[in-house]
Chain A
Amino acid sequence: MEANHNQTPVEVADLRKSYGEQKVLNGISLNVAQGQTVAVLGRSGTGKSVLLKLLVGLQPADSGTVRIDGQEITGIEPGPLNEIRKRMGYLFQQGALYDSLTVEQNVDFPLSRHADLSESARKDKVRELLSSVGLSDGDFEKMPSEISG
């Protein structure tokens, strides 16, 4: 994540989340500094994925605050939240690729909405990115279910 060097990019304070009677996060606080790598460990069902979803604003927290680059994201409007999300990357456990789009269209999907590039420049960028992870020309038109891994 690209961050403003003057601030702590990720600040979490007293974050709480419950599903019905089940308390998943009970007042968690953490700061992630610029360039720092943080691993969250825990047994299944202890709220690791929930914490990450709260950091991206995919789920609302019951209470507490999440600040990204100094900006509070709990209770923020979708427009400003999306501006913050554009600077973040999130990898889902099961990939979560759009199964009705080809591999190339999957990578192009956010670019076509957020990047100010011409169609040909976007296509070049997508192919460059796919090549950088070892995919060849023949794989670009495949559906996600047709490629392994």
Chain B
Amino acid sequence: MTASTTTMASPAAISRSERAKGIFVSFFEWFGELGMFCARLGRAALTRPYEIREFIHQCDEVGSKSLPLVALAGAATGVVLSLQTRDSLIHFGAKSLLPAVIFFSVVKESGPVITGLVVSGRVGSGIGAELGSMKVTEQIDAMEASAVEPFRYLVATRVLACILMLPLLTLCADFCAIVMGWIAETFAEPITFRYFLENATKGVQFSDFIPPTLKTLVYGFIIGIVACFQGMRTTGGTEGVGRSTTSSVVLSSLFVILADVILVRLILVFYG
């Protein structure tokens, strides 16, 4: 009799491999479902009737109600940039470049990213929780049963409001950061705002300013779509709403950062 050389995998190893396979499949399922969600959103957003009143309401929710938080975050960024950069620039004898450093740092990177992250925290959690609780209490089913398309009324309005509001909020964050950067600089060495701005914007072109601001359109789309998607697929009662809220914030923040890497590279390719 010959001894069998076949070795059997242990139950623990099988369970680990099954679990890994499950995670792998659900990862691709998530993206597949997101793709179908985007397609359904596209159809809902482009066909009549348009929910103009709800869209304006959502612009107010996303835009004006996020404004104080975004302005504060922008202002803090400006102050920190001014305080941190000043010593380094003095060390290299390039103190006169401080206004330009603040301006470029804020406009090209800090302003858009800070705005994206603040909005993904405030708006992403709000949308995830609101749609999640509507889903588990069957309000979305009720909307469908009364022949109102929930994708048009709930999703399209929120995603479009996020897309429209993000660049505007970014401009506010940029403005607050630059003004507070100047104020922080003035405490160390008084200069007029006009002189600060002249130094900051010397040699600035539209290509330095427009693409970084417009990249927040993509951030807005990401925040809106991820939060709506997570909210609309909520299951499991109040615990499920909690999970949707958390995942809306975590995933939208993560995707904003990942999108930033790609968009910065694209901007450098086309405008660098």
Interface residues of B in 210-269 (CB under 8 A from A): none
Among B137, B141, B149, which residue has its beta carbon within 8 angstroms of that of A58? Answer: B141
The answer to the question of B12 belonging to the interface, with a C-beta cut-off of 8 Å to chain A, is no
Q: Which residue of B lies closest to A82 (CB)?
A: B147
**In the complex, chain A residues 86-143 whose Cβ is within 8 Å of any chain B Cβ:** 86, 88, 90, 92-94, 96-100, 109-110, 113-114
- Partner pick for B141 among A78, A96, A109, A110, CB 8 A cutoff: A96
Within 8 A of B (CB), among A15-30: none
Query: How many Å lie between the Cα of A38 and that of B143 in the bound state?
Result: 25
B49 nearest in chain A by CB position:
A113
Give the chain B neighbours of A48 by CB distance below 8 A: none
B147 touches A110 (CB 8 A): yes
Note all chain B residues with C-beta closer than 8 A to A99. Answer: 137, 139
Q: Taking chain A's interface residues, is the majority helix, strand, or loop, or is none over half, making it mixed?
A: loop
Question: With a CB–CB cut-off of 8 A, which chain A residues contact B139?
Answer: 96-99
Task: Give, as a whole number of angstroms, the nearest-CB distance from A33 to chain B.
Answer: 23
- Give the docked Cα–Cα distance between A34 and B143 (Å): 26
Establish whether residues B149 and A53, one from each chain, have CB atoms under 8 Å apart when the complex forms.
no
Instruction: Name the CB-closest residue of B to A84.
Output: B147
**B60 part of interface (Cβ distance < 8 Å):** no
Q: Closest 4 interchain pairs by CB?
A: A96-B142, A82-B147, A85-B147, A110-B146
What is the distance, in angstroms, from A86's C-beta to the closest C-beta of chain B? 5
Contact assessment for A96 and B138 in the assembled complex, using a CB-CB cutoff below 8 Å: yes
**A21-B137 Cα distance, complex, nearest whole Å:** 25
**Residues on B with beta carbons closer than 8 Å to the beta carbon of A82:** 147-149
Q: Is the C-beta of A2 less than 8 angstroms from some C-beta in chain B?
A: no
The CA of A50 and the CA of B130, in the complex, are separated in Å by 25
B146 adjacent to A109 (CB under 8 Å) = yes
Query: Which residues of chain B (138-159) have a CB below 8 Å from chain A?
Result: 138-139, 141-149
Extra inter-chain contacts (15) besides given A82-B149, A113-B49, CB under 8 Å: A56-B145, A57-B144, A58-B144, A86-B147, A88-B145, A92-B145, A94-B137, A96-B138, A96-B141, A97-B139, A98-B134, A98-B142, A99-B137, A100-B130, A109-B146
Docked Cα-Cα span, A84 to B106, in Å, equals 54
A110 and B142 CA atoms in complex are apart in Å by 10
Within A64-92, the residues touching B (CB, 8 Å) are 78, 82-83, 85-86, 88, 90, 92
Question: What are the residues of chain B within 8 A of A57 when measuring CB–CB?
Answer: 144
CB distance from A12 to the nearest CB of B (A): 17
**Selected A-B contacts with CB under 8 Å, 10 pairs:** A58-B145, A82-B148, A90-B142, A93-B138, A96-B142, A98-B134, A99-B137, A100-B130, A109-B148, A113-B147
Complex: chain A residue closest to B130, CB-CB: A100
Give Cα A143–Cα B141 distance, bound, in whole angstroms. Answer: 20
Residue of A at shortest CB range from B151?
A78
Which of A96, A98, A100, A114 is B147 in contact with, Cβ under 8 Å?
Answer: A114
Q: Which residue of B lies closest to A86 (CB)?
A: B147
Rounded to whole angstroms, the CA-CA distance of A115 and B146 in the bound complex is: 12
- Tell me how far the C-beta of B48 lies from the nearest C-beta in chain A, rounded to whole angstroms: 10
**A114 vs B146: C-alpha distance in the bound complex, in angstroms?**
9
Q: In the complex, what residue of chain A is closest to B47 when comparing beta carbons? A: A79
Of residues 51 through 79 on chain B, the ones whose CB sits less than 8 Å from some CB of chain A are: none
Judge whether B149 and A78 touch: CB under 8 Å. yes
> Residue on A with the closest CB to B43?
A78
Chain A positions within 8 Å of B134 at CB level: 98
Contact of B148 among A53, A83, A110 (CB under 8 A): A110
The answer to whether A92 touches B149, judged by C-beta atoms less than 8 angstroms apart, is: no
| Residues of chain A with a CB closer than 8 A to B149's CB | 78, 82
Within 8 A of A (CB), among B186-231: none
Whether A85 and B145, one on each chain, are in contact in the complex, defined by CB atoms closer than 8 angstroms, is: yes
Task: Collect the chain B residues with CB atoms within 8 Å of residue A109's CB.
Answer: 146, 148
Please tell me if the beta carbons of B142 and A92 are within 8 angstroms of each other in the complex: yes
